[in-house]
Structure formats: structure tokens, C-alpha cells
Amino acid sequence: MKKIKEIGIDEQFETFVLIKSADVRTARNGKQYQAFTFRDDSGEIDGKLWDANEKSIRDFIPGKVVYMRGKKELYQGMPQVNQISLRLATAEEPSDPELYKEQPPVAKKVLVEEINQTIFEITNAHWNRIVRFLMTKYQDKFFEYPAAKSNHHAFETGLAFHTVSMLRLAKSMVSEYPQLNGSLLYAGVILHDLAKVIELTGPVGTEYTLAGNLVGHIALIDEEITKAALQLKIDDTDEDMILLRHMVLAHHGLLEYGSPVRPKIMEAEMLHHIDNIDATMQMLTTALAQVGPGEYTPRVFGLDNRNFYKPSFDKE
């Protein structure tokens, strides 16, 4: 059986896949259907089961491995599965969800070591204590959760991988621009998305929690910093605490992107750009991995719905 990435356009196929997401929707005719994202260790593809019923809605849920038959087609330039037929995989078949998950580019052990080492480089006592406190509080989830539901680093350990990638960029910037306060920048990087562990439900069937929908990770991490300061008996009106809160509050850069304030110190401005660079690179890497040299990617929602071309020099 072929992997998702190996299946050609207009090809009939059968394979085992993991259901990454499953949404029940209502068609124009009033009937329910299920909109899926399927994945294996080669990539992802969307598809719709039009004849949904109570049993299919009950059985075909995120985290389940299914045997799928269908046809890969293009719809508005994007690959999808049509003519879908599904059944749950049996115990005698490759039914372990771990077989189908996207493998993180860096081992979890390496991510833990790099973040722990960087915490030693945060020399401001207040920032160091806050980072240690919150990393201890959320350590297990931090090294398990994705960084987003779909846009970027949407895989298990994606949050930690995104953070470490940003720390590597931050350290290069501090080396090139010594006028930056490395301690503040590293603390901001580690904390900026930490509340994704509150905003999201986890790595399988990732959805937004009630707090994620109604409050959001930016406000949530600011609250966590303030609560940590209270428990650690740190005065949150001190300038260094206000600077740390500004880092996380401003990291989306623009008010229309969810930040309540725009960056007003060097380190906050650089945090915003580092975050954007790493998220963009991950979206591009994921999209380009799904196509061959000389082909265009499907539209990338997080990058203004643009297509990207994979140059033929990638054959080399």
C-alpha cells in the first residue's frame, strides 16, 4: 500500500491512515457529512464522507486508525480524497496510532537539554525564577503539545521544537547584536507560547479549549506570569517584570493579530520577528514536502493563501 505522499492525482488507492481531525458539518441539502484530515508518516490529506450517519460519527473520531479506499483528486488546486470508504483498523492490522504520527525533526531529549541549558543563561534573577517556575509547572505538556491546531508546528512536540528553533535564532542575533539583552530575549522566547498548553487540548485531535477560545494564549501567559510572581513573592510592578510581561503581550506584533500592545523595546520587536520567521519556515517546509520538484504547493492559509513553487534544483 502506498503512503499519502506517494499517491498520484486521479489515482484510486487503499491504505491505512490516522484520523487527525473529524468535524461534523451540515451540507446545503440539510444532511450531515464528516470533514476529515487524514495523516500517515509521509503527510496529510483532507477528505469528506458525505453519507455520514450516527455510527460513522461515533466510530471515525480523531486518534483512530482506519482502512481507507478512495480517489485522490484536485479541488481548487488542493489534493483531497473523494469516493471515500472507511472502516476501523482491526487489532491484526497496523492499528497503532504511533505508526502514523509526524515524527518530530529533533528528539525530545535534545529539546529538553537545549531549553534547560538556556535557562542557565537567563541571568536576571526574577526572569530566571519565573521561567523555571512555569516550566516546572507545565513541563510534561510543554514537551508534548503542538504549537498550533493547524498552521505551524501542528505535531506532537511542536511547541518545544518551535521554542528551541527560536532560541537558536535568538542566540545568533544576540551574538550579532550584543546591544540586545539576551536574558530578556531568551525568557521571552521560552514563555511566549507556553500557554498553548492551556489554549489547546493536546496533540491528538487538537482543538481549542474554552479558555483558548475566549481568552487566548497571549492573555493566558500574562496571567500565568503574574500568578507566578505572586507565589514567588516577586513584585510584579518592578520594571524587569513589566518588561517580561511586555515581551509576551507584544509578540504577535500587531493589534489585529491579537497582541494588546505593539512592541516598544528592542527585544520585543526581535521576538516578534523571530517568531514569524520560524512559523513561516515551518509552514513552507511542510507545504513543500508534499510536492515534487517543478510543482506548486497547495495554497498555504497562514501565508495569505499563496502557492509556493518547489524549484527543480531540489532534485539534486
Domain chopping of the chain, boundaries: 4-99, 108-284
* pLDDT band (50, 70, 90) for residue 151: confident
Residue 297 has pLDDT above 60, yes or no: yes
Average pLDDT over residues 62-75: 92
Residue 20 has a pLDDT of 87
Report the 3 state secondary structure along the chain.
Answer: CCCHHHCCCCEEEEEEEEEEEEEEEECCCCCEEEEEEEEECCEEEEEEECCCCHHHHHHCCCCCEEEEEEEEEEECCEEEEEEEEEEECCCCCCCCHHHCCCCCCCCHHHHHHHHHHHHHCCCCHHHHHHHHHHHHHHHHHHCCCCCCCCCCCCCCCHHHHHHHHHHHHHHHHHHHCCCCCHHHHHHHHHHHCCCHHHHECCCCCCCECHHHHHCCHHHHHHHHHHHHHHHCCCCCCCHHHHHHHHHHHCCCCCHHHCCCCCCCCHHHHHHHHHHHHHHHHHHHHHHHCCCCCCCECCCEHHHCCECCECCHHHHC
Average pLDDT over residues 182-194: 98
Residue 162 has a pLDDT of 95
Residue 32 has pLDDT above 70, yes or no: yes
pLDDT, tens digit, for every residue of 221-278? 999 999 999 999 999 999 999 999 999 999 999 888 889 999 999 999 999 999 999 9
pLDDT, tens digit, for every residue of 2-17? 898 889 889 999 999 9
Q: What is the mean pLDDT of the chain?
A: 92
* pLDDT band (50, 70, 90) for residue 41: confident
Query: 4-99, what's its fold?
Result: OB fold (Dihydrolipoamide Acetyltransferase, E2P) (2.40.50)
Residue 93 has pLDDT above 80, yes or no: yes
* pLDDT band (50, 70, 90) for residue 163: very high
Average pLDDT over residues 126-130: 98
Question: What pTM value is reported for the model?
Answer: 0.84
Average pLDDT over residues 201-226: 93
Query: Which residues, 6+ apart, have CB-to-CB distance to 140 below 8 Å?
Result: none
Residue 64 has pLDDT above 70, yes or no: yes
Q: Which residue has the higher pLDDT, 216 or 21?
A: 216
Average pLDDT over residues 48-53: 90
Residue 294 has pLDDT above 90, yes or no: no
Residue 136 has pLDDT above 90, yes or no: yes
Residue 42 has a pLDDT of 83
